[in-house]
Amino acid sequence: MTQDVANGYDEIADAYLSARSDIGADVISDWASDLPKGAAVVDIGAGTGWPVTQVLIDAGVRISAIEASPKLAGVFRERFPDVELACEAAETSDFFGCQFDGAVAIGLMFLLSEAGQMALIERVSGALKSGGRFLFSAPHQVCEWEDALTGRMSRSLGLEVYRKRLADCGMTITGSYKDTGGNFYLNSRKL
């Protein structure tokens, strides 16, 4: 059996398109406001690019994107034909062989296994320039739940595990956000 690197999202792409809202767009806008114009940012688990990629483009940063679902990547390409996009699993991506000023992983981290989350944090650290920033969403408490769209298990490793893993990978937490939907975000910086 082949591993589903899209974590079930290719199968439910139409439902995802119908359910995706702009909750969190204000967090992304606030986060991006501290980046210099023209900063290079990678959107990891970009989905269709709405709203995250669009907010980042509107903020004046240069975007590259990674999305594992071929169906969602297809919609992304239609919306953003000029944005560099890799259709691959984030936790094994080489991040275009580039260094970035920032990275975002919104709605992705908790879909991955514990090993996948650990691998992704390490890969992001390797793809960030010194001083580069990484924003991702995950509940601050340790918890597991069934993903509403895919029915698959989602998990948060919790704030302390994320703090330790980020530190082990040369990053430090610089703050957090909570959006209007109650979603929690961690902001970190590569030392």
CA 158, 26, 96 angle in degrees (round to 5)? Answer: 70
Q: What is the pLDDT of residue 157?
A: 98
Range 41-45 average pLDDT: 97
Residue 172's domain comprises 13-190
178 located within any domain:
yes
Does residue 109 carry a pLDDT above 60? yes
- Going from the C-alpha of 44 to that of each of 53, 73, 142, the distances in angstroms are 10, 12, 22
Q: Tell me the helix, strand and coil percentages in the chain, rounded to 5.
A: 35, 25, 40
Residue 8 falls inside a structural domain:
no
User: pTM, whole model, 2 decimals?
Assistant: 0.90
User: For position 100, what pLDDT does the model report?
Assistant: 98
On whether residue 6 sits in a domain, the answer given is no
Q: Let me know if residue 5 belongs to a domain.
A: no
pLDDT band at 7 (very low <50, low <70, confident <90, very high): low
Give residue-wise pLDDT tens across range 110-153: 989 999 999 999 999 999 999 999 999 999 999 998 977 767 78
In a domain, 3, yes or no: no
Residue 1 lies in a domain: no
Encode burial over 19-48: b for 16+ CB neighbours within 10 A, e otherwise: ebeeebbebbebbbeebeeebbbbbbbbbb
Number of domains present in the structure of the chain: 1
**What is the CATH classification number for the domain harbouring 33?**
3.40.50.150
In a domain, 70, yes or no: yes
Residue 7 lies in a domain: no
